[in-house]
Amino acid sequence: MRVLSAFLLIIVVLGATSAQSYAATCQQLWVERNSIYKSAGYCFKTPRAIARFGNAGCLHDSEGDVPLSAAQRRLIGSIVAEERAQGCGD
């Protein structure tokens, strides 16, 4: 019984560790989301985004004007939802 308990404990710990390793951090989510906007020509406004992505070659001042596919918009929506779930700030 002790061996079984120890084995189950190891499985639980390994499962929690691997789940944490797959969860994206707020920084990773932010970069992923804004990389989509950058590739579509968005002109960033925040110092953080400008420092990370720059505004060279930007074409669109409004997020709503950025030409994104439906799949890209869904992906951005999913990222935003995950950012909210994790309590990420901007």
Please tell me the total count of domains within the chain.
1
Within-domain flag for 1: no
Question: By residue range, what is the domain housing residue 39?
Answer: 24-86
Its pTM stands at 0.72
Within-domain flag for 16: no
Q: How far is residue 43's CA from residue 60's CA, in Å, rounded to a whole number?
A: 6
Within-domain flag for 43: yes
Rounded to 5 degrees, φ, ψ at 57 are 75, 10
Residue, of 23 and 40, whose pLDDT is higher: 40
pLDDT tens figures, 47-56? 999 999 999 9
Residue, of 89 and 71, whose pLDDT is higher: 71
Q: Give the chain's mean pLDDT.
A: 83
Within-domain flag for 34: yes
